[in-house]
Amino acid sequence: MTVIVRALRKGDYAGWRPLWDGYTAFYACELDESVTALTWERALNSHSSLFCRVAEIDGKVIGFAMCVLHEGTWTTAPVCYLEDLFVDENVRGKGAGKALIEALQAEGKREGWSTLYWVTRQNNPARKLYDMFSEADDFVRYRVSL
Ligand SMILES: CC(C)(COP(=O)(O)OP(=O)(O)OC[C@H]1O[C@@H](n2cnc3c(N)ncnc32)[C@H](O)[C@@H]1OP(=O)(O)O)[C@@H](O)C(=O)NCCC(=O)NCCS
């Protein structure tokens, strides 16, 4: 089974949307429709710092990586935050998640990004996948709602 990773395209909406809904349900999050609409729009907009790579199997979009490329104070090169990663539960365990991260890693090397990073819950079983790429550090996150 071959997994292809590529940039999101306008015509992907019907494939992407159920995955996005699956992802927000996974985090028990009810996003306002206007937020999803803007996220979709920005992911396609080359002037936005937000972008999306999708994974395809047999021509069907089955996963995505939503990212934000941002500046950093400790580097002159762009830093890539992998904010959302999701694979259709019917095709999990077939390498799509790994292919998405590897594709970002390869893109970052090509494009001269300094780092690719992501955060996850302490107990997310997906850490089995993440541990293949790097050791988790000991930073903890503080969030202030505004
Ligand atoms: C995390 C996720 C994207 C991984 O996608 P995937 O396509 O199943 O991952 P892969 O098939 O590339 O996994 C590679 C390896 O990691 C393991 N792995 C990946 N995700 C895992 C999970 N959630 N639980 C247990 N093992 C997992 C796979 O079993 C596989 O191990 P193997 O090589 O020994 O067989 C997918 O499980 C998912 O969408 N989870 C729900 C949403 C989520 O947790 N997103 C990440 C939030 S930070």
Q: Where are the domains of the chain?
A: 3-130
pLDDT at 110 over 90: yes
Q: What is the pLDDT of residue 1?
A: 78
* C-alpha 74 to ligand 1 mean position (Å): 31
Identify the pLDDT of residue 125: 95
Tell me which residue has its CA closest to atom 46 in ligand 1. 85
What integer is the mean pLDDT of 4-27?
Answer: 98
Query: What pLDDT sits at residue 132?
Result: 98
CATH number at 3-130 = 3.40.630.30
How far does the centroid of ligand 1 lie from the alpha carbon of residue 79, in Å? 24
Q: Per-residue pLDDT tens for 28-42?
A: 999 999 999 999 999
Ligand 1 atom closest to residue 23's alpha carbon, by position in its atom list? 42
How far, in Å, is the centroid of ligand 1 from the Cα of 126? 5
- For 63, which DSSP code? E
**Residues flanking ligand 1, CB < 6 Å:** 26, 85-87, 92-98, 120, 124-126, 128-129
Asked whether the beta carbons of 130 and 136 are under 8 A apart, the reply is yes
Per-position b or e across 2-29, b if 16+ CB within 10 A of its CB: ebebeebeeebeebbeebbeebbeeeee
Residue corresponding to tokens 């990004």? 113
The best mutation among 19, 67, 85, 129 to test binding of ligand 1, ranked by most ligand atoms within 8 Å of the C-beta, falls on 129
How confident is the model over 39-98, as pLDDT tens digits?
999 999 999 999 999 999 999 999 999 999 999 999 999 999 999 999 999 999 999 999
Q: What is the mean pLDDT of the chain?
A: 97
Say what percent of the chain tops pLDDT 90. 99
